[in-house]
Amino acid sequence: MNRALVFVLIIITLSACTQTGRNEKRMPVARAGDAILYYDEIPSALIEDITKPDSILIIHNYINKWARSQLLFQKAESNLTSEVLKEIVKQVEDTRFNLVTHEYQRQMMLEKMDTLIDDKELEAYYSSNENSFILTSNIVKALFIKLPLETPGLDRIKRLARSNSQEDIKDLETLCYQFAEKYDDFDENWITADRLLFELKESIENQEAFLKRNSFYETSNASSVYLVTIFDYRLRGTLSPFDYVKDDIKRIIWNNRRIEFLRSLENGIYNEALKENSFKIY
């Protein structure tokens, strides 16, 4: 072990023993150019147990890494032009300005902004802005099943897949959990027809005609049978169902509130400054 490292470890060990609960002068551990690394800047996790076999190596690596970064920074600072350094200072100041402002706005929003949005408000926005919710894709509520070609009781599964009975649907789920390669009701949510038809692995040229013509569709290949039950659909160019765009509306309303809240916050601070004469134009 080199003498410098031994000295560092002695300092650290003595510091750990003598500085507890006392406000003593900061103890230097290493110097790199104009920079000094102090004992209290070393992460406490590295010096919690100085007796561990690998602790010496870990601390040594930390000091070397610190020295390398400091020396690189000092070399860069001494070789960059004053114009570049001024621009860096400006960027740092701008970043600090934006971070401080953003954090204050965030805290004020958490404390004072009304975030409760009920269904009545969502429905009112939906009704007042129907033209904003025209579908650009065909959407469906559907069930998709993929089964091995030799699935036992396949005809029964097909019959159950056509049924609207809750008992039949439960029986269908039980059978599909046993035999299906894939069974997906998409959480009973609206999905794009593209997403559903992608599962079929075949090209459907006219989606609109397909949806109008089929409430149940079956196709197969050499190894699998594909079953699709379409419970409901909406075509592109028509109004989106409310529940399909409900989350989008909630985000829109929340964002509008955020914008209005931040504008009000800024105006309030500005008007207060005018009132207190802390803002003047010379």
- Model confidence at 1: pLDDT above 70: no
- Model confidence at 76: pLDDT above 60: yes
- Model confidence at 25: pLDDT above 90: no
When pLDDT is averaged across residues 106-120 and rounded to a whole number, the result is: 95
- Model confidence at 20: pLDDT above 50: no
- Model confidence at 230: pLDDT above 50: yes
- Model confidence at 11: pLDDT above 70: no
More confident residue, 50 or 44: 44
- Model confidence at 91: pLDDT above 70: yes
Q: Give the C-alpha separation, 183 to 137, whole Å.
A: 24
More confident residue, 50 or 7: 50
**Per DSSP, what are the bridge partners of residue 139?**
192, 234
Q: What is the pLDDT of residue 5?
A: 54
When pLDDT is averaged across residues 213-236 and rounded to a whole number, the result is: 94
Cα 251–chain centre separation = 15
- Model confidence at 4: pLDDT above 60: no
**pLDDT, tens only, 31-45:** 999 999 998 888 887
**pLDDT bracket for residue 89 (50, 70, 90):** very high
- Model confidence at 50: pLDDT above 70: no
Q: pLDDT exceeding 90 applies to what percent of the chain?
A: 75
Please tell me whether residue 155 adopts helix, strand or coil conformation. helix
**pLDDT, tens only, 247-275:** 999 999 999 999 999 999 999 999 999 99
Average pLDDT for the chain: 89
Task: For each of the domains in the chain, give its residue range(s) and CATH number, in order of start.
Answer: 3-79 (no CATH), 92-131+252-282 (no CATH), 135-234 (3.10.50)
When pLDDT is averaged across residues 99-109 and rounded to a whole number, the result is: 97
CB 126 within 8 A of CB 133: yes
Q: What is the pLDDT of residue 280?
A: 84
Q: What is the pLDDT of residue 82?
A: 95
Q: What is the pLDDT of residue 79?
A: 96
**pLDDT bracket for residue 282 (50, 70, 90):** confident
Between 166-179 and 154-162, two packed helices, what is the crossing angle to 10 degrees? 140
When pLDDT is averaged across residues 95-119 and rounded to a whole number, the result is: 96
- Model confidence at 13: pLDDT above 90: no
